[in-house]
Amino acid sequence: MNATVQPILTARGLVKRYGRVTALDHADFDLYPGEILAVIGDNGAGKSTLIKALSGAVSADEGEMRLDGKPIHFRSPMDARAAGIETVYQNLALSPALSIADNMFLGRELRKPGVLGSVFRMLDRTAMEKTAREKLSELGLMTIQNIGQAVETLSGGQRQGVAVARAAAFGSKVIIMDEPTAALGVKESRRVLDLIQDVKARGMPIVLISHNMPHVFEVADRIHIHRLGRRLAVIKPSDYTMSDAVALMTGAMKPPTEMAAA
């Protein structure tokens, strides 16, 4: 990575303990502008906990995080969202019975102007549907014809598309995706990977947590390897094979010391 480019999101020395379990053990993290950074690691390595700390879902016991060089202290995912970090969780957090448009705006609905406090104002359904349609079409998701359609009637890939479009629509700085292709078939995974590339092409840096090595090696610019609660190394997919990456994350291969600073 070019030494003159400053990372957009960093963490230094994050520690998170759950009773006797140390989920994060002085973990570091760096995300650079415009990149897709994959985070890989064995089960229980602490990937989800790292991502939860970065997205405000858990607060670390120790360590510091910075966004655009400024210290951040998130007390909730709402804080992280307000700072421009959007997360697409594994369980998607979509409401199946609500429409695509309603899901896009869940928790931040547009309301019509009025004299009463914002909670009492009428929802501006037309504006939400228009914006939802624009956002989905920007990302080439116009196969979803009916914006008023309930999310439960969509395929897994389409649902993931809505979740990604929502993150892309509201995330101004960083998008974090936790296993976005885990529950999808080959064709649907393909579309979601294309979507991730589209979001990147629009200049948005992405953190991608995945166990799927072919997907990681296809889309990632760099790969953060997490092991035993901390960052073991960062590699470029062009410099290593998938088996090397797996060997590193399972401890079968030791990282050369210079790799840890990549």
Ligand X SMILES: Nc1ncnc2c1ncn2[C@@H]1O[C@H](COP(=O)(O)OP(=O)(O)OP(=O)(O)O)[C@@H](O)[C@H]1O
Task: List interacting residues with ligand X (CB under 6 A).
Answer: 18, 21, 23, 41, 43-49
Q: How far is the CB of 241 from ligand X (least distance, A)?
A: 21
8 A C-beta contact, residue 96 and residue 153:
no
Q: How far is the CB of 209 from ligand X (least distance, A)?
A: 7
Residue 98 in tokens: 């609500």
- Looking at beta carbons only, is 34 or 63 nearer to ligand X? 63
Residue 30 in tokens: 């760096």
- Looking at beta carbons only, is 20 or 70 nearer to ligand X? 20
Q: How far is the CB of 125 from ligand X (least distance, A)?
A: 38
- Looking at beta carbons only, is 100 or 235 nearer to ligand X? 235
Pairing state between β 70-72 and 230-235: unpaired
- On the 0-12 / 13-18 / 19+ scale of CB atoms within 10 A, 24 is buried
- Looking at beta carbons only, is 9 or 141 nearer to ligand X? 9
CA atoms within a 13 Å half-sphere pointing along the CA-CB vector of 73: 3
Q: How far is the CB of 180 from ligand X (least distance, A)?
A: 14
Sign of the Cα pseudo-torsion (81, 87, 88, 90, in order): negative
Q: How far is the CB of 27 from ligand X (least distance, A)?
A: 10
- Looking at beta carbons only, is 24 or 132 nearer to ligand X? 24
Tally Cβ neighbours within 10 Å of residue 71.
8
| Rounded CA Rg of the chain | 19
- Longest Cα–Cα distance of the chain, Å, equals 65
Q: How far is the CB of 223 from ligand X (least distance, A)?
A: 14
Residue 257 in tokens: 């010391």
Strand partners, 64: 12
- Looking at beta carbons only, is 18 or 250 nearer to ligand X? 18
Tally Cβ neighbours within 10 Å of residue 72.
18
